[in-house]
Amino acid sequence: AIPLVVAINTSLAARNGMLVRDRIAMEDARNLDAIIFDKTGTLTEGEHGVVDMATVNGVDEDDALRLAAAVESDSEHMIARAIREAADERDLSAPDATAFEAIKGRGVRAKVDGNEVYVGGPNLLTQLDSEIPDHLQRFADEAGQNAQTVVYLVREGERSEPSDRASGEAASRDGELIAAFAMADVIREESYRVVNALHNLGIEVAMLTGDSQDVADAVASELGIDTVFAEVLPEDKDKKVQELQNQGKLVGMVGDGVNDAPALARADVGIAIGSGTDVAVQSADIILVQNNPLDVVRLVTLSKASYRKMQ
């Protein structure tokens, strides 16, 4: 599915698992001032597991997990996979859900038992204007400090009857946050060496993610990353590339997802990594066939070696 691969230093690049779609980008790679990495699945394994959960008063954990698994039953996202696995591990079967919809960079939603139910990150809560109860906020803060990604389960209750309203409970039932899940992802071992090597080459290392500021900061400080862009919506990712370009920098971007495509296209050197999605691959200048972030370093050194010789 890789169109128009232009080969430069074909054998050398190909032997290193690099497909060059734009030879100018291959040449520019040696002059990069900054490289931005997508976090999830690039610097981290991208394989989440649910490590903890919390619910609001009166909500049973198993019920919350069942409901979350139902909403996630149609999603390919690793967060969805983790939630479904957590439900499986407890032998919980998810109720039927319909009307699945992915909300880009925020989460997913579906209809369960006549209610709109959502699972998603902090960006979703902002969109739904949901309030976080104190104890769930503490749960999220603690998880964030441990670099765990938190997603929330939100249910929009049926419009309440006037009789309910008289009881004073009515208003709080709409868009009610009912549970939070903490998921652990793991930093890839190679990522430490990548950041070090790029620093040694004088290249600034940045990270771009839709995940929370807490998680992003924890991963960045662990790896020694210079610049962090967190809680970025898919439609804003390319603006972060531009932000560095506006500082006069030649910017590389490394990503794999559909969400990364505009940023890959915007970057001076767009690098799709791993199997990638077709959209990412088609927006990139260079494709790193293996899912190994160390190939980004090899790309820069190969570019330096090749073009030095030609001058």
Query: Given candidates 144, 252, 257, 276, which one binds ligand ADP under the rule CB under 6 A?
Result: 257
Q: Does the protein bind ligand ADP through residue 280 (CB under 6 A)? A: no
Select the span of 117-125, 157-165, 218-226, 245-253 touching ligand ADP (CB under 6 A).
117-125
Q: Does the protein bind ligand ADP through residue 252 (CB under 6 A)? A: no
Shortest separation between residue 38's beta carbon and Mg ion, angstroms:
5
Q: For residues 120 and 276, which CB has a smaller minimum distance to ligand ADP in the complex?
A: 120
Q: Does the protein bind ligand ADP through residue 39 (CB under 6 A)? A: yes
Q: For residues 212 and 282, which CB has a smaller minimum distance to ligand ADP in the complex?
A: 212
Taking each helix axis as running N to C, give the angle between helix 294-310 and helix 189-200, from 0 to 180 degrees, rounded to the nearest 10.
Answer: 30
Query: Given candidates 30, 32, 36, 38, which one binds ligand ADP under the rule CB under 6 A?
Result: 38
C-beta pairs of 242-250 under 8 Å, 24+ apart in sequence: 242/266, 244/33, 244/34, 244/36, 244/204, 244/206, 248/33, 249/33, 249/34, 249/204, 250/28, 250/31, 250/32, 250/33, 250/34
What does the alpha-carbon distance between residue 178 and residue 60 come to, in Å, rounded to a whole number?
A: 10
Active site residues: 38
Q: Is 271 exposed, middle or buried (0-12, 13-18, 19+ CB in 10 A)?
A: buried
Helix (H) or strand (E) holding 119: strand 115-120
Contact 281, 297 (CB under 8 A): no
Shortest separation between residue 72's beta carbon and ligand ADP, angstroms:
6
Query: Given candidates 82, 120, 241, 295, which one binds ligand ADP under the rule CB under 6 A?
Result: 120
Q: For residues 9 and 40, which CB has a smaller minimum distance to Mg ion in the complex?
A: 40
Which of ligand ADP, Mg ion, none lies near 191, with the C-beta cut-off 5 to 8 A by kind?
A: none
The structure tokens listed for 95 are 């109720």
Q: Does the protein bind ligand ADP through residue 211 (CB under 6 A)? A: yes
Backbone angles phi, psi at 19, to 5 degrees: -110, 125
Interface ranges with ligand ADP (CB under 6 A): 38-40, 72, 75, 77, 79-80, 105-108, 119-121, 149, 151, 209-211, 234, 257, 259
